[in-house]
Amino acid sequence: MSNSDQAKLDHRPSPDALLAAAEAERRGKLKIFLGAAPGVGKTYEMLEEAAARKREGIDVVIGVVETHGRLETEQLVRGLEAIPRRQIEYRGRILDEMDIDAILARTPRLVLVDELAHTNAPGSRHPKRYLDVEELLAAGIDVYTTLNIQHVESLNDVVAQITRIRVRETVPDGIIDRADEIEVVDLTPADLIQRLNEGKVYVKDQAQRALRHYFSPGNLTALRELALRRTAQRVDAQMLTYMQAHAIAGPWAATDRLLVCVNESPLSAQVVRQGRRIADQLKAKWTALYVETPRHHRLSEVERDRIADTLRLAERLGAEAITIPGNDAAKDSLAYAKANNVTQIILGKSTRSRWFELLHGSVARELMRQAGNIGVQIVASEGEPVPEKTIETRAEGEGFDFLPYLVSTVTVAAALGIAIAIDCFVVLPNISMVFLSAVLFSAIAYGLWPSLYATLLSVLAYNFFFLPPIYTFTIADPANVMALLFFGVVAVLTSNLTARTRSQAMTAQNRAKATAELYAFSRKVAGIGDLDDLLWATCYQIASMLKVRVVVLLPEHERIAVRAGYPPEDELDEADIAAAKWAWDRNRPAGRGADTLPGAKRLFLPMRTERGAIGVLGIDRDRPGPLLTPDERRLLDALSDQAAVAIERIHLAEDIDEARILAATERLRSTLLSSISHDLRTPLASIIGSVTTLRGIAADAPKPAREELMATIQDEAERLNRFVGNLLDITRIESGTLQFHREAVDLREIVETALRRATRILEQHRVQVDLPSDLPMLEADPPLLEQALFNLLDNAGKYAPKGSSIRIAAHREGERVAVAVEDEGEGIPPDQIERIFDKFHRAHAGDSRPAGTGLGLAICRGFVEGMGGRVSAANRGDRSGARFTIELPVAPVAATALETPR
């Protein structure tokens, strides 16, 4: 590629940028009125602008607007149509919520939705109002909305630090990034405070005191700056998109890549948010990474959940979230960073004790030591994080299991018995070893806590039965106290060690099993070519690995419908169908345990491939509560991904087949067109020509001349009739609607009628019929066999010279009868024998030969094969000419033997 080419390429609009712009065009437009604090007049501003739109003739309605009893605002509201709110009863209270269905049904051009960060009442379609807004936008409705800066997800921590008030209602940054317009409604802090004092700012009573602090000039200034900065950032991004879309070369930031390290700490979420801010400023791609070390399996379920949630938060903030297995968080993070050209690594300041760092090492320190040219940023985090959940997951191992403790007790009792038995016969100085075996057994069999329990029991038993004075818990000899103490320490250490080994072994075993099953599944699905088989295999696999009920839904005629399930008889109720549809339309999870439609019985997850969602997976378990543990969720994702890829592969294969058939149909159509234009026009030309001549010539013209013209008209009209008949026949064959009624047929009758029909065609040939008198009845459909034979005769008449003879002969060959039509023409070119029965194939192309349709032999083959026979072509051995043979089965004899006439 030359330099100028390269330059041209660089100046082309980036496809991604264009795609994003195109996507935005179909959606409704979102305008956010952003304020630094409550009371700056966002709602008023929004209403004023809406009124202006209305004056321009735009269809504006109010979805929801809170006037908080302010007069000016109420006046503005009165001028606009408002969609009545929906009343939702919740715990005895009636809550007013925006009626999204009514708005969708009304389909205005523009809808006003106040308070973007609002949390909907339980039982609403979406838990959050911004999700409602997303749906409105997706429906192509423009939305005006209001938002305070403290509700922006990535600024949540910052605002909390500034104001010391944490806002629980947040809006993801994505929705702000995707807004088409942001208007900052700005008011100086002094003016705002004055408004507050005048009582013009609505505040909930209980928050009065807190708000006094909130509205301090310092806070307001900081918030104002935040709002302006966030907007400026967005303007930047917009400019970038514009420049990319229009291929304007600009000073792009060097392609920074950020890596945010995530761990189980509750502060990781803040690190992720900070990472997002840094990535935004650098306009860099960023990745959130979690290294799953062996320590992962010792984490509590809460911690594991938190990791999964943090990764999901990162995803929502625009990061790529990745989990890699490893042994050393620092080393593996670094290896990943180097392999992926990361320029900066971001991690949170450790909140761990010095002791912990001494024991486990400090990831931060390790990273800084080994990072080389990669920058490492340690960010501070403060305050309490906001837990995030997309899908609730279930804790593993719920409930307390008594069995391990019971068995441990029995084991220790057995050890005691053995120890007493041994003690009767031999004097063993360290009889405590017997108890140690019991402790080890418990550790191996049940893990840490049962083994610690066994340790306690052993210590007590050893003391009681063996340390003098026996049968008391007192110990006389100080040396024995020491012995018992060491026994305890050793037992505890061994328990711990063994339990850990056991848990690692179990994890490894589970993982190996899951991996093996995944591998087997991927091999299995790779070999399946049929969609239904594949879906069944998928359902079965998921159901058996996760012990859940499974349904798979695929799009069918613009709708999503159940295609497979395990158990297969499961049916979806209406809530489930709604959730499945939502999951499909939005490509996001919905249903039980998810953000949207949590009332459904099942959880629906979109099955995705690189090219987008291809279906929805619904799962359900009989027990209540969250459906899956995080591990199960990950396994499900892996299975779902594999199935999705396999389904896509089958779809692609079908597409290719379809394209091939389409191409063949297209070819057929064009051949048909050219055939029709030639074969219909030629006889028509002769007919019209002859008729006009007839009308033109004098009435006393010689009779032979008139006779000839009239014969031409008749011949050509009959040819036209045959051609139309052929077209009909080939259509009947191709459409598959042709039915074959097979019955016992006397070949003579068929030959008789076919010859009668061909009388005019074969007028100038000598026809010889050679049928043995003992020829058995054939099994065939009489009219179709007649047509097949007629087509062979027609063909012979066309290609054999006048005056030559055409022979019809038949003979029995075992259980079949062969009927041959032989002519004395030029024969078939050997290279065309194979193709001569193909549609529109003609041995002699061009206009020189008498016009044929190229369909006669194809129809002959179609009919004969449909009747269970065979047709073949060959050149005659005895002389020049072609031989076409139809073979058909002999009819069962039973009927022909009845009542033979004497």
Partner 1 sequence: MTKRPRILVVDDEAAIRRFLRTGLGEQGYEVLEAETARAGIESATREKPDLLVLDLGLPDIDGLEVLQQIRRTSLVPVIVLSVRADEKGKVAALDLGADDYVTKPFGMDELVARVRTALRHRLQEQGEAPIFRCGDLAVDLVRRVVTLKGNEVKLSAREYDLLRLLVMHAGKVLTHQFILREVWGPAHTEDVQYLRVYVRTLREKLEEDPTRPRYLLTETGVGYRLKEGD
Candidates 786, 794, 822, 824: give the one binding partner 1 (CB under 8 A).
786
Angle between helix 478-526 and helix 630-696 axes, rounded to 10 deg = 0
Only one of the segments 167-175, 416-424, 752-760, 838-846 lies at the binding site for partner 1 (rule: CB under 8 A); that segment is 752-760
- In terms of CB distance, is 225 or 770 closer to partner 1? 770
Does residue 753 interact with partner 1 by CB under 8 A?
yes
- In terms of CB distance, is 43 or 726 closer to partner 1? 726
- In terms of CB distance, is 6 or 768 closer to partner 1? 768
- In terms of CB distance, is 753 or 872 closer to partner 1? 753
How far apart CA 32 and CA 179 sit, in angstroms, is 7
Query: Least distance (Å) from partner 1 to the CB of residue 751?
Result: 6
Does residue 749 interact with partner 1 by CB under 8 A?
yes
Only one of the segments 252-260, 580-588, 747-755, 827-835 lies at the binding site for partner 1 (rule: CB under 8 A); that segment is 747-755
DSSP annotation of 29 = P
Only one of the segments 222-230, 434-442, 749-757, 869-877 lies at the binding site for partner 1 (rule: CB under 8 A); that segment is 749-757
Does residue 783 interact with partner 1 by CB under 8 A?
yes
Torsion of CA 833, 836, 841, 844, to 10 degrees: 60
- In terms of CB distance, is 30 or 750 closer to partner 1? 750
Closest to 34 (Cα-Cα) out of 121, 126, 150 = 150
DSSP annotation of 894 = G
Only one of the segments 528-536, 570-578, 638-646, 742-750 lies at the binding site for partner 1 (rule: CB under 8 A); that segment is 742-750
Angle between helix 448-466 and helix 478-526 axes, rounded to 10 deg = 150
Candidates 127, 725, 868, 889: give the one binding partner 1 (CB under 8 A).
725
Strand partners, 375: 344
Contacts with partner 1 in 873-902 (CB under 8 A)? 891, 895-896, 898-902
Query: Least distance (Å) from partner 1 to the CB of residue 847?
Result: 26
- In terms of CB distance, is 243 or 809 closer to partner 1? 809
Only one of the segments 136-144, 397-405, 539-547, 767-775 lies at the binding site for partner 1 (rule: CB under 8 A); that segment is 767-775
Only one of the segments 92-100, 324-332, 387-395, 768-776 lies at the binding site for partner 1 (rule: CB under 8 A); that segment is 768-776
| Strand 882-889 relative to strand 285-292, pairing | unpaired
Q: How far is CA 864 from CA 100, 145, 600, 885, in A?
A: 64, 73, 58, 11
Does residue 209 interact with partner 1 by CB under 8 A?
no
Candidates 40, 175, 577, 745: give the one binding partner 1 (CB under 8 A).
745
How far apart CA 883 and CA 461 sit, in angstroms, is 106
User: What is the number of alpha carbons within 13 Å of residue 164 lying toward its C-beta?
Assistant: 9
- In terms of CB distance, is 103 or 747 closer to partner 1? 747
- In terms of CB distance, is 583 or 713 closer to partner 1? 713
- In terms of CB distance, is 428 or 895 closer to partner 1? 895
Candidates 750, 821, 828, 871: give the one binding partner 1 (CB under 8 A).
750
Q: Residue 340 in contact with residue 369, Cβ under 8 Å? A: no
- Amino acid identity of residue 117, one-letter, is A
Q: How far is CA 868 from CA 427, 741, 746, 873, in A?
A: 96, 11, 17, 17
Query: Least distance (Å) from partner 1 to the CB of residue 618?
Result: 50
- Amino acid identity of residue 91, one-letter, is R
Candidates 728, 801, 805, 811: give the one binding partner 1 (CB under 8 A).
728
- In terms of CB distance, is 151 or 722 closer to partner 1? 722
- In terms of CB distance, is 783 or 829 closer to partner 1? 783
Number of residues that bind partner 1 (CB under 8 A): 33
At 455, is the secondary structure helix, strand, or coil?
A: helix
Contacts with partner 1 in 691-720 (CB under 8 A)? 717
Neighbour-count burial of 61, counting CB atoms closer than 10 A to its CB (0-12 exposed, 13-18 middle, 19+ buried): buried
Only one of the segments 204-212, 282-290, 641-649, 743-751 lies at the binding site for partner 1 (rule: CB under 8 A); that segment is 743-751
Only one of the segments 53-61, 238-246, 750-758, 837-845 lies at the binding site for partner 1 (rule: CB under 8 A); that segment is 750-758
Q: Which residues contact 139 (CB under 8 A, 6 or more apart)?
A: 28, 104, 107
Query: Least distance (Å) from partner 1 to the CB of residue 830?
Result: 33
Query: Least distance (Å) from partner 1 to the CB of residue 785?
Result: 9
Q: For 593-627, b where at least 16 C-beta lie within 10 A, e where not — what string?
A: bbbbbbebebbbbbbbbeeebbbbbbbbbeeeebb
How far apart CA 27 and CA 23 sit, in angstroms, is 7
Q: Residue 598 in contact with residue 389, Cβ under 8 Å? A: no
Does residue 859 interact with partner 1 by CB under 8 A?
no
- In terms of CB distance, is 642 or 726 closer to partner 1? 726
- In terms of CB distance, is 9 or 894 closer to partner 1? 894
- Amino acid identity of residue 189, one-letter, is P
Does residue 782 interact with partner 1 by CB under 8 A?
yes
Candidates 729, 822, 823, 824: give the one binding partner 1 (CB under 8 A).
729
Q: For 350-371, b where at least 16 C-beta lie within 10 A, e where not — what string?
A: beeeeeeeeeeebbbebbbeeb
Site string for partner 1, 792-811 (x = CB under 8 A): --------------------
Candidates 721, 731, 805, 880: give the one binding partner 1 (CB under 8 A).
721
Does residue 772 interact with partner 1 by CB under 8 A?
no
Candidates 8, 213, 349, 748: give the one binding partner 1 (CB under 8 A).
748
Query: DSSP string of 105-148?
Result: HH--SEEEE--TTPBPPTTSSSSBHHHHHHHHHHTT-EEEEEEE
Does residue 665 interact with partner 1 by CB under 8 A?
no
In whole angstroms, what separates CA 661 from the centre of its chain? 27
Query: Least distance (Å) from partner 1 to the CB of residue 767?
Result: 9
Query: Least distance (Å) from partner 1 to the CB of residue 748?
Result: 5
Query: DSSP string of 614-639?
Result: EEEEEEE-SSSS----HHHHHHHHHH
Does residue 267 interact with partner 1 by CB under 8 A?
no
Does residue 746 interact with partner 1 by CB under 8 A?
yes
Q: How far is CA 624 from CA 206, 392, 394, 547, 628, in A?
A: 37, 12, 10, 14, 11
- In terms of CB distance, is 193 or 775 closer to partner 1? 775
How far apart CA 311 and CA 533 sit, in angstroms, is 35
Query: Least distance (Å) from partner 1 to the CB of residue 721?
Result: 6
- In terms of CB distance, is 529 or 783 closer to partner 1? 783
Only one of the segments 224-232, 307-315, 686-694, 779-787 lies at the binding site for partner 1 (rule: CB under 8 A); that segment is 779-787
Q: Residue 96 in contact with residue 86, Cβ under 8 Å? A: yes
User: What is the number of alpha carbons within 13 Å of residue 761 lying toward its C-beta?
Assistant: 23
Number of H-type helices and E-type strands within the chain: 27, 25
Tokens (6 digits) for 760:
């005019």
How far apart CA 437 and CA 415 sit, in angstroms, is 8
Query: Least distance (Å) from partner 1 to the CB of residue 861?
Result: 18
Query: Least distance (Å) from partner 1 to the CB of residue 818?
Result: 17
- In terms of CB distance, is 531 or 777 closer to partner 1? 777
Closest to 104 (Cα-Cα) out of 590, 591, 585 = 585
Q: For 116-125, b where at least 16 C-beta lie within 10 A, e where not — what string?
A: bbbebbeebb
- In terms of CB distance, is 340 or 753 closer to partner 1? 753
- In terms of CB distance, is 689 or 782 closer to partner 1? 782
How far apart CA 434 and CA 417 sit, in angstroms, is 10
List residues binding partner 1 (CB under 8 A).
717, 721, 725, 728-729, 732, 743-746, 748-753, 755-756, 769, 771, 773, 777, 782-783, 786, 891, 895-896, 898-902
